[in-house]
Structure 1
Amino acid sequence: MKTTTRSPRTLPLRRSLVSLLTAGVLGLGSLSAVAATEMPPLPEVKGDVVQGNGKDYSLKFNIGLTQSSAQYRGLEYFKKIVEKRSDGHIQVQMFHSAQLGDDLQSVSALQAGTLEMTSPSTSPMVNMFPQFAVFDLPFLFPKPEVADKVLDGEIGQRMLKEASTKGLVAIGWSENGYRQLTNSKRPVSKPADLEGLKIRTMQNPIHLDIWRTLGANPTPMSFAELFTALEQHVVDGQENPWITIKSSKFNEVQQYATETNHVYTPFITLVSERFWNRLPADYQQLLRDAAKQMGDYERHVSRSMNDQIKQELADEGMQITELTPAQVKVFQDKLEPVYADWRDKIGGDLIDSIRQAASSAQ
């Protein structure tokens, strides 16, 4: 077990103090926060101009994360590719921070034809596509490169095809990332350390099952309520990717973190079927190509930011525990019953094929 830390702050900043800052100071602080984590440059666009049918098209692409996210950076690259290779005949309007609705609202808008594209996490879409629940299983992907192999290979392509129904066309994958654990009580390096801790989770039955099985007390809660709940000790901890922990300032009310990498969540790139059917075949292929390039670049940005942000959190006083392979194995063994409980509901063949592909990729 490796612990990364710096001198912890004696008292967490309180939200009430933040409200006293002027708008100008907030603006400068926001710019500093973005500048602290450097984004890789946008790659050059390669490929010839795609000849369409002479018509112009405009598409709105809405995402849930902010402008400082890897997802938005990937969207900037998508826009650059599509507009340049269509010679301006396709214009991409970018919307961030759920400006046009959250993940599920955006998917509904695609079905209705009032929005052209979005890229939600798979977790909120489990009710629509039950097979997506496989991505909520714990420790399914031991390394991000393993997730890449599965999602970019036959399994991932088959799942895109299966999701291209119900008014949607699924054209690619990108990365939300690994979820990490934070808490205000103690360092966590083994399941026994979780005993009795109140951990906020999404309203997701597999996530609840995971933390219950590990001995914690999972507490579903709206993300919007989470900072206050952590600050007031309504819950002891939470789990999210490093970038969310940093951008939401959870380190101000959470002294301890463990790099668990317990769940890897992808984003799926979706197009409204109504819009898709209006496009000539060459432009449809352009969107597929751009989605693939966006996904590859966004993963690179996500992983680059992940390492930077983890170090920033340590520099700011968060005590980060990095688990050894042997310690991870203890968590994995403890969570095997979750796989047994969900095998029939998700599909044993799908689980087995992913685990086999993951094993061969290591």
Structure 2
Amino acid sequence: MNRAKFYGLMLLAGLAAASPAGAADIKERNIKVGIGLSADHPQGQAVARFAELVSQRSDGKIKVKLFAGGLLGNDVSMVSSLQGGTQEMTIPDTSTLVGIAGLKEFGLINLPFLFNSSSEADALLDGPFGQKLMAKLPEKGLIGLGFWENGFRQISNNRRPITKAEDIQGLKLRVIQNPLFIDTFKTLGANALPMPFPEVYTALETGTVDGQENPMATLVASKFYEVQKHTVVSNHIYSVWAFLMSKKFWDKLTPDEQQLLTEAANEATAFERQTIRAFDATALEEIKSKGVEVTTLSDEETAKLRELTKPVSEKFVQEFGAEGAREMQAELEKIRAAKN
């Protein structure tokens, strides 16, 4: 080898060593993220933050585009699109995943009156139990990049204020397309009507349903206060979103791209939880300012709801997996003991 060629090779080696790790492994990519909520909801804001982080760290090569308001379909259809590889990302309620064979344990998160606080939920979902759930996704064509908070769900309606458990009876309430939600409200005496989220506002406006149940942040961001008169702070179910990517898309990525997206997703998850909790803290007052009557159940009435929904929890523990439920409960007990 002549001296010029030798020094030329040494120069190239030196440049490679000085380059940022994996820089050559970042390719031009386009990622479509579909959500059912509006772009200004904390969920949409967190996707925007994720897009910003990904763009910065890929030098603009990886572009993340948000499609909000159900433009790409509802949660069920978008999860199916991820599995088929025609859409890259979505953030469905975890209850949506229960309908996919082998993912029933995700339903345990939604058992009525399971959590006492958001911090308990964070500890459970970020710990061994949550990671066990995420590990089930790849064989179903999905990659889990984090659990995002939707929050404690509240009931709104147009017929009457809810001050006691019996006031729920007879209400036509839109619920998530999930048997646990349907059975929970049937048990409480409501007429539970499953419906995709993008259809809810119109159904409330036209009187197809009397009300719905969602966290306060969703009630504000989706402007349900325009078509609802009453809201009760019931905290009946804690709701979680899964930040998902298509495995078909994931498998095309280089290891450096996977690492970049994973790190950005971790930061976006922390951002989303912080943002939605801040939003939720002000949502109650905003709803009141829009003329919605807000009631809060007494401890006695909450205990009554908890007792009424016990058979629902017992039924779905068997359906979702008794062993998984025992693992979850053991983790929760450890979390609670550590706080005391």
- Displacement after TM superposition at 1:228 (Å): 4.9
Query: Which residue matches 2:22?
Result: 51
User: Paired residues, what number?
Assistant: 315
Alignment partner of 1:320 is 2:294: yes
- Displacement after TM superposition at 1:121 (Å): 1.6
Q: How does 1:101-140 map to 2 (within 5 A)?
A: 101-128=73-100, 129-140=103-114
- Displacement after TM superposition at 1:342 (Å): 1.3
**Which whole-Å deviations, capped at 9, do the CAs of 1:103-146 have from their partners, x for residues lacking one?**
23322332232322222221222111222222332112221111
Which of 213, 226, 230 in structure 2 is aligned with 1:252? 226
CA contact under 8 A between 1:182 and 1:239: conserved in structure 2? Answer: yes
Q: Cα gap change, 1:116/1:357 in structure 2, threshold over 3 Å: closer, same or farther?
A: same
Alignment partner of 1:69 is 2:34: no
Q: Cα gap change, 1:284/1:315 in structure 2, threshold over 3 Å: closer, same or farther?
A: same
Deviates more, 1:243-252 or 1:347-356: 243-252
- Displacement after TM superposition at 1:224 (Å): 5.0
> Normalized per residue, which structure has more helix?
2
Q: Cα gap change, 1:59/1:203 in structure 2, threshold over 3 Å: closer, same or farther?
A: same
CA contact under 8 A between 1:174 and 1:294: conserved in structure 2? Answer: no
Q: Under a length normalisation based on structure 2, what TM-score does the superposition of the two structures give?
A: 0.84
- In structure 1, what is the Cα distance between the partners aligned to 2:77 and 2:259? 26
CA contact under 8 A between 1:173 and 1:292: conserved in structure 2? Answer: no
CA contact under 8 A between 2:155 and 2:214: conserved in structure 1? Answer: yes
Where does the alignment leave 5 or more consecutive residues of structure 2 unmatched?
1-18
Q: Could you tell me which amino acid in structure 1 is paired with residue 57 of structure 2?
A: R
CA contact under 8 A between 1:175 and 1:267: conserved in structure 2? Answer: yes
- Displacement after TM superposition at 1:346 (Å): 0.3
Query: Which residue matches 1:219?
Result: 193
Q: Cα gap change, 1:247/1:349 in structure 2, threshold over 3 Å: closer, same or farther?
A: same
CA contact under 8 A between 2:154 and 2:214: conserved in structure 1? Answer: yes
CA contact under 8 A between 2:153 and 2:234: conserved in structure 1? Answer: yes
Bigger RCO (CA 8 Å, 6+ sep): 1
Alignment partner of 1:329 is 2:303: yes
CA contact under 8 A between 2:177 and 2:194: conserved in structure 1? Answer: yes
- Displacement after TM superposition at 1:89 (Å): 3.6
Q: Could you tell me which amino acid in structure 2 is paired with residue 74 of structure 1?
A: A
- Displacement after TM superposition at 1:152 (Å): 0.6
Identity of aligned residues (%): 36
Alignment partner of 1:157 is 2:131: yes
Query: Which residue matches 2:56?
Result: 84
Deviates more, 1:68-77 or 1:162-171: 162-171
Q: What SS does structure 1 have at the residue aligned with 2:143?
A: strand
Where does the alignment leave 5 or more consecutive residues of structure 1 unmatched?
1-47
- Displacement after TM superposition at 1:225 (Å): 4.9
Please provide the CA RMSD for this pair. Answer: 2.3
